[in-house]
Chain A
């Protein structure tokens, strides 16, 4: 009846996950009770859960990423403490628990922090920058988000019910095959990624179509803001690479569930094929994450330097070059597996070539700053911090791309330090820069600068104190994923790294305090202009937060830096618009499809993990029925009457006119 599920799935003998799970459960129940008692449920349901507004969905993505960042961060803290104390002793974590922690840490940080964070920012901002009302497929957008949330839920469920994979974040066979991992850990891993992967693919299709087909009038390709370009590149990679992940995980699951022989040791299975397939997805994945961050930095650097982006066209070219080359380097992840010197040389050179367009970008940002009027607001600090950090990560990456060096350094702490160097210094710094930069646009008030700067400095210093020791430990021969060790020379570095982790944690706390303080002072921090940073692209042309329809009139774009141009022109005309003719606007209706679909997907995923077949069928039928019901709807749009549009827009225009006249007076 319940498949493999029984009471032994609950780890009563392990206090850490049980207590953590208990606390989370109490917190969730507490929040739910508060929501219900206070009567916020109808608001949450109609304004957020069923919303198909790209801005709301973007915010929910970022919220999901932030919560999961805390979870993945807790795993990181546990690992650093373990390695600091586990010199000639077992440490405080049992081996199988430690193995689950490093697997969960990698999985969560990539799939449920970095991915939702960048997809959330793209969702929030790209339609605004393109000057359109929504993404191409609003309801599908909601489905994509909720499926990602399903994946995150399943991963967290594994904390208390059953176990998570002990295989590392990519579940390499034959370790992940049934004979070596008979538990449900790998199944949790594979199904949560399979479900959230569908969500990511949906988001990718949506954003590619949005950028290519929905741009406002006059927004030629070479007038798109840089962030739209990197979004396009990143989402092209998503639609090309995520199906590979889907296929690979499907093969692994077939091996595990039906005794197939794709990757087994016996009957002719081929383990190396898994490596090739997973990294053919995995390497582009790195660029899926970092390209949007590059776009954010381009926007931030140009805005806070008060200059147009230097070398816009070379930036576009570099972005698309990275997009293409990122597919040609996957083999550098297994130089040491005997592919031979010719293959290694080709992939080594291809890997180094990626540094060229990336270097172009770094120089463009530097030249954008050169001669500009630079303001070191928090987003700009993250951008400059990124340039310093990412160059170190890029250089160690080029080092690892040299096959002979890689023979010495692969699977060492040096490698661990390298990819944290680029992922934290690139993606996470970019996400934080974007978060600080676009927060006023999303919520209508700025974030507290003092706490923001503190958060930056603690994170920046904490990052180097944590990961420079790991580089050194790697040079000293320490391999990754060690539960305990006996080499005295590594010990001091592990202790320094643990101290660095503490500094990083202070950075995270500062960021939380920043949000709390800003919400308390929101009246003082209110952004009435819609343009708190003196921005250059169209998202700043509308109010903060934007009305549900984004723009009362579809903007007409005449050049790069669309809003900057408009401001220049408007200053001459002092925003005189002779009685604009407002028109009715059609917007997509809210729909619970995404939420209901994810509900059934959760049931189905859980049932598949535990082999509860009747429940699988139930979940599958439910998901299909949801779509039929959705397809059966008769009205998918509602009309905002011209009068309402006018009322909303006039307030916005009035604010701006006041500002212009004030600026004129000064």
Chain B
């Protein structure tokens, strides 16, 4: 019964004018993984942009508390920025080392990345602790709420990144440069570089604009 298909529709794509580029079929695992991870990163950046938007809305709402220019210390932020940008470079080195399967440079690159990430986190944590100690915690005003959330959200991502980094090193130690481990390394590198990009946003919108205001 079901096979009474009308003929006449069998000729290839009547709508296509000119050359048709035939789709070659499913992409390789490496491409699929990287593509999926890119989409995750984009969605993560959408989430960050909500916190950026909240900060933009609330940055003037100091409720009698301190303004940004009164609490930001440019020196610390400069060191943080240098650490993070440099760590992106060393992460890149580690990625290259992984691609050429050089364990020594891989471990070295990852270790330096880890140390730089930790320095960044320590400075950020001390900044937060210092503010809270002075009574300028996140519940002091809506401005401080937005500040702590945006910067803290980035810090949380860096912490997760460090945890992932250590897991990656352990994986390479235990499994070697297997194809799936290399795919994960690629995702980790994308993640780490994306954190850098977000930090450039944080640095500009929060610290530079905030100090100027």
A453 to chain B, nearest CB (A): 21
Q: Please report which residues of chain A, range 336-362, place their CB below 8 angstroms from some CB of chain B when the two chains form the complex.
A: none
- The reply to whether the CB of A491 lies closer than 8 angstroms to some CB of chain B is no
In whole angstroms, how far apart are the Cα atoms of A559 and B171 in the complex? 45
- The reply to whether the CB of A286 lies closer than 8 angstroms to some CB of chain B is no
- The reply to whether the CB of B200 lies closer than 8 angstroms to some CB of chain A is no
Interface mask (A231-253 → B, CB under 8 Å = 1, otherwise 0): 00000000111111011100100
B12 close to A136 (CB less than 8 A): no
Interface mask (B13-34 → A, CB under 8 Å = 1, otherwise 0): 1011000111111110001100
B5 close to A564 (CB less than 8 A): yes
- What total of chain B residues lie within 8 Å of the partner, measured CB to CB? 60
In whole angstroms, how far apart are the Cα atoms of A242 and B11 in the complex? 42
| A214-B26, A568-B6 given; A239·B58 CB < 8 A | no
Interface mask (B153-197 → A, CB under 8 Å = 1, otherwise 0): 000000000010001000100110000100010000000000000
- The reply to whether the CB of A208 lies closer than 8 angstroms to some CB of chain B is yes
A568 close to B2 (CB less than 8 A): no
B43, B142, B174, B180: which contacts A240 (Cβ < 8 A)?
Answer: B43
A219 surroundings in chain B (CB, below 8 A): 23
A214 close to B27 (CB less than 8 A): yes
A136, A561, A631: which contacts B36 (Cβ < 8 A)?
Answer: A136
One of B46-54, B66-74, B108-116, B119-127 contacting the partner: B46-54
One of B88-96, B99-107, B143-151, B203-211 contacting the partner: B143-151
B142 close to A532 (CB less than 8 A): no
B35 close to A213 (CB less than 8 A): yes
A244 close to B142 (CB less than 8 A): no
- The reply to whether the CB of A558 lies closer than 8 angstroms to some CB of chain B is yes
- The reply to whether the CB of A569 lies closer than 8 angstroms to some CB of chain B is yes
B27, B43, B139, B149: which contacts A251 (Cβ < 8 A)?
Answer: B149
A269 surroundings in chain B (CB, below 8 A): 58, 61, 142, 145
Of the candidates A137, A222, A560, A631, the one having the most CB atoms from chain B within 10 angstroms of its own CB is A631
- The reply to whether the CB of A217 lies closer than 8 angstroms to some CB of chain B is yes
- The reply to whether the CB of A289 lies closer than 8 angstroms to some CB of chain B is no
A631 close to B171 (CB less than 8 A): yes
- The reply to whether the CB of B1 lies closer than 8 angstroms to some CB of chain A is yes
In whole angstroms, how far apart are the Cα atoms of A229 and B154 in the complex? 35
| A201-B43, A559-B12 given; A212·B167 CB < 8 A | no
A137 surroundings in chain B (CB, below 8 A): 36
A205 close to B167 (CB less than 8 A): no
B132 to chain A, nearest CB (A): 11
- The reply to whether the CB of A260 lies closer than 8 angstroms to some CB of chain B is yes
Of the candidates A201, A205, A533, A663, the one having the most CB atoms from chain B within 10 angstroms of its own CB is A205
A209 surroundings in chain B (CB, below 8 A): 32, 35-36, 39
- The reply to whether the CB of A479 lies closer than 8 angstroms to some CB of chain B is no
A260 close to B149 (CB less than 8 A): yes
A170 to chain B, nearest CB (A): 16
A443 to chain B, nearest CB (A): 18
| A209-B39, A239-B39, A568-B5 given; A267·B10 CB < 8 A | no
B142 close to A554 (CB less than 8 A): no
B58 close to A217 (CB less than 8 A): no
A616 surroundings in chain B (CB, below 8 A): none
B140 close to A267 (CB less than 8 A): yes
In whole angstroms, how far apart are the Cα atoms of A559 and B9 in the complex? 9
Of the candidates B5, B138, B143, the one having the most CB atoms from chain A within 10 angstroms of its own CB is B5
Give the residue name and chain of the B residue nearest to A137 (CB): B36
In whole angstroms, how far apart are the Cα atoms of A220 and B20 in the complex? 9
In whole angstroms, how far apart are the Cα atoms of A217 and B26 in the complex? 7
- The reply to whether the CB of A526 lies closer than 8 angstroms to some CB of chain B is no
A-B contacts counted at CB < 8 A amount to 192
- The reply to whether the CB of A480 lies closer than 8 angstroms to some CB of chain B is no
In whole angstroms, how far apart are the Cα atoms of A593 and B63 in the complex? 47
A576 to chain B, nearest CB (A): 14
B23 close to A262 (CB less than 8 A): no
In whole angstroms, how far apart are the Cα atoms of A163 and B198 in the complex? 39
- The reply to whether the CB of B141 lies closer than 8 angstroms to some CB of chain A is yes
In whole angstroms, how far apart are the Cα atoms of A164 and B20 in the complex? 56
B25 close to A554 (CB less than 8 A): yes
A266 surroundings in chain B (CB, below 8 A): 63
A205 close to B36 (CB less than 8 A): yes
Interface mask (A540-573 → B, CB under 8 Å = 1, otherwise 0): 0000000000000010011111001101111110
- The reply to whether the CB of A37 lies closer than 8 angstroms to some CB of chain B is no
Of the candidates A206, A220, A221, A241, the one having the most CB atoms from chain B within 10 angstroms of its own CB is A220
| A216-B26, A559-B13 given; A239·B42 CB < 8 A | yes
A600 to chain B, nearest CB (A): 16
Interface mask (A192-204 → B, CB under 8 Å = 1, otherwise 0): 0000000001001
- The reply to whether the CB of B44 lies closer than 8 angstroms to some CB of chain A is yes
B184 close to A631 (CB less than 8 A): yes
In whole angstroms, how far apart are the Cα atoms of A242 and B43 in the complex? 8
A565 close to B10 (CB less than 8 A): yes
B57 close to A273 (CB less than 8 A): yes
Give the residue name and chain of the B residue nearest to A308 (CB): B9
B6 surroundings in chain A (CB, below 8 A): 306, 568
A205 close to B40 (CB less than 8 A): yes
- The reply to whether the CB of A529 lies closer than 8 angstroms to some CB of chain B is yes
| A218-B22, A261-B142 given; A565·B3 CB < 8 A | no
Q: Please report which residues of chain A, range 24-80, place their CB below 8 angstroms from some CB of chain B when the two chains form the complex.
A: none
| A240-B43, A244-B50, A258-B138 given; A628·B167 CB < 8 A | yes
A214, A308, A659: which contacts B2 (Cβ < 8 A)?
Answer: A659
A277 close to B50 (CB less than 8 A): yes
Give the residue name and chain of the A residue nearest to B144 (CB): A261
A246 close to B26 (CB less than 8 A): no
Give the residue name and chain of the B residue nearest to A244 (CB): B50
B141 close to A268 (CB less than 8 A): yes
A218, A267, A531, A568: which contacts B139 (Cβ < 8 A)?
Answer: A267
A657 to chain B, nearest CB (A): 10
A532 close to B2 (CB less than 8 A): yes
- The reply to whether the CB of B62 lies closer than 8 angstroms to some CB of chain A is yes
In whole angstroms, how far apart are the Cα atoms of A216 and B24 in the complex? 8
| A262-B146, A559-B13, A561-B9 given; A270·B58 CB < 8 A | yes
Give the residue name and chain of the B residue nearest to A223 (CB): B13
- The reply to whether the CB of A523 lies closer than 8 angstroms to some CB of chain B is no
Interface mask (A574-587 → B, CB under 8 Å = 1, otherwise 0): 00000000000000
A153 to chain B, nearest CB (A): 25
| A213-B27, A262-B145, A559-B9 given; A268·B61 CB < 8 A | yes
- The reply to whether the CB of B133 lies closer than 8 angstroms to some CB of chain A is no
- The reply to whether the CB of B7 lies closer than 8 angstroms to some CB of chain A is yes
B58 close to A631 (CB less than 8 A): no
In whole angstroms, how far apart are the Cα atoms of A132 and B149 in the complex? 42
A206, A217, A264, A534: which contacts B23 (Cβ < 8 A)?
Answer: A217
In whole angstroms, how far apart are the Cα atoms of A205 and B25 in the complex? 20
B148 surroundings in chain A (CB, below 8 A): 260
- Besides A220-B21, A243-B47, 15 other CB < 8 A contacts? A137-B36, A209-B35, A223-B13, A239-B46, A247-B47, A258-B139, A260-B138, A261-B141, A267-B141, A268-B58, A268-B142, A273-B58, A554-B26, A561-B9, A631-B167
Ordered by A's residue number, 5 sampled pairs between the chains whose C-beta atoms are within 8 Å are: A251-B149, A261-B58, A268-B63, A273-B54, A306-B6
**Nearest 9 interchain pairs by C-beta:** A268-B61, A268-B142, A247-B50, A243-B47, A259-B139, A217-B25, A567-B5, A243-B46, A209-B36
Chain A contacts to B: CB under 8 angstroms: 132, 136-137, 201, 204-206, 208-209, 212-223, 239-244, 246-248, 251, 254, 258-262, 264, 266-270, 273, 277, 306, 308, 312-313, 529, 531-534, 554, 557-561, 564-565, 567-572, 624, 628, 631-632, 634, 636, 659-660, 663
